[in-house]
Amino acid sequence: MSKLARTFNRKFISPIREFIQDSRAVGITLMICTLVSLVISNTPWGISFVAFWEGEIHFPIAAIHLPHTVLHFINDGLMAFFFLLVGMEIKREILEGELSGLQKATLPAVAAIGGMVFPALLYVLCNRGGGNVHGWGVPMATDIAFSLGILSLLGKRAPLALKILLTALAIIDDLGAVLAIAIFYTDHIDLFYLGIAGGIFALLVLMNLMRVSVLPLYFILGLALWYCMFNSGVHATLAGVLLAFTLPLRKIAALEHKLHHPVSFIILPLFALANTAIIFPPDIGHLLASPVNYGVLAGLIIGKPFGIALLSYIAVRMGIARLPQGLRWRHILGIGMLAGIGFTMSIFIAMLAFNDVGTQITAKLAVIIASLVSGIAGYLLLRKINTTSPMNKGGGV
């Protein structure tokens, strides 16, 4: 290697590689992309920037019905890989990870239920009698990358049990969001395509039972499954979750490793850039005074920590779950606050829940504000706990 190449590698390639390997990198990247998108959208180039994401995609074969804009291609197509990654994480944790036994899964499952039900209820209370009550799913979700990224800022001061609990809780939360999308945010069903999708899924399950391990075959059928789901009316990204559940367990770890960086540093940043391209309207104050805004803010900032802490406390008091060793109730409240970082999944559901662009903008802004408040509040509380806690003095876990 030449001296110039070594210098380039040391000054540019190595720092980028180190950043990507950092557990905080995904969250930092998404925050930067969101900020960049919001800033550009509200400059003289904003109209062109937004128009780019809404630009039409023309495919050579018109009869093949595919996503027709850049935004839809990202949300309906590329995000299927994100859901594939989420599905693999769920399957691995259920079969051999932190959700593999009843005792392990009870506390995060109960906490996740509280963290979904109470935000939805608060949203409904804020929007009762209005036309946007169906947006209750927006404050249900937790962004795994962001929440764990904020927690990782604590370094070794964050107990390992806290990271495990937040991860398990967020994974169950994602499963709940996936089910909500499949059941409640599907407007029109084409039974013909849905039937074909069901047949393809059954074939994938059969391949798994027969211990077929040829991954390209799974992905060819997975692509066909995605196309049929897209044309059936059920959101196409759910094909990623269904495919993940049929993949051989022994192949999942390696595949997760291969997909992690492309999903985290290409697909999710594109999603953030495209979906936060928001031109602030002159009447932004009117939008923020909307019940939708209040419902999302209340759900994520108040409903998440309250629901997670309350149901966890009840479950422990009833003896059906136990608090992990080294954790206190203030820790549970802290991760409840971090769970209020909805971002990716919340914005995704907002795009499905509302057809009106103004309402979508309101919901997106509310998600961004709530995620920022929740992240800061959760970090400060956990930092204070782990700074003053005797068990963590000296940097031990």
Higher pLDDT, 204 or 179: 204
Q: Which residues contact 159 (CB under 8 A, 6 or more apart)?
A: 326, 327, 331, 386, 391, 392, 397
At how many degrees (to 10) do helices 144-152 and 329-338 cross? 130
How far lies 228's CA from each of 50, 61, 231, in Å? Answer: 29, 17, 5
> What integer pLDDT is reported at residue 387 of this predicted model?
58
Q: What is the mean predicted confidence (pLDDT) over 72-77? A: 90
How much is the mean pLDDT over the chain? 85
> What integer pLDDT is reported at residue 389 of this predicted model?
53
Q: What is the mean predicted confidence (pLDDT) over 161-177? A: 83
pLDDT-derived band at 8, boundaries 50, 70, 90:
very low
The pTM (predicted TM-score) of the whole model is: 0.78
pLDDT > 50? residue 94: yes
What is the rounded distance in angstroms from the CA atom of residue 225 to the CA atom of residue 49? 32
Classified as helix, coil or strand, 203 is: helix
Q: Which two tokens stand for residue 69?
A: 């804009």
pLDDT > 90? residue 138: yes
> What integer pLDDT is reported at residue 395 of this predicted model?
35
Residue 56's DSSP bridge partners are: 69
What ranges in the chain are assigned the alpha helix state H? 3-8, 14-21, 25-41, 46-53, 70-72, 79-96, 102-127, 144-152, 160-184, 191-209, 215-232, 238-246, 249-262, 268-275, 284-288, 291-297, 304-318, 329-338, 343-353, 357-388
250 class by beta-carbon count within 10 Å (0-12 exposed, 13-18 middle, 19+ buried): exposed
pLDDT-derived band at 95, boundaries 50, 70, 90:
confident
pLDDT-derived band at 11, boundaries 50, 70, 90:
very low
CB-CB contact of 224 with 203 (8 Å): no
> What integer pLDDT is reported at residue 22 of this predicted model?
53
pLDDT-derived band at 391, boundaries 50, 70, 90:
very low
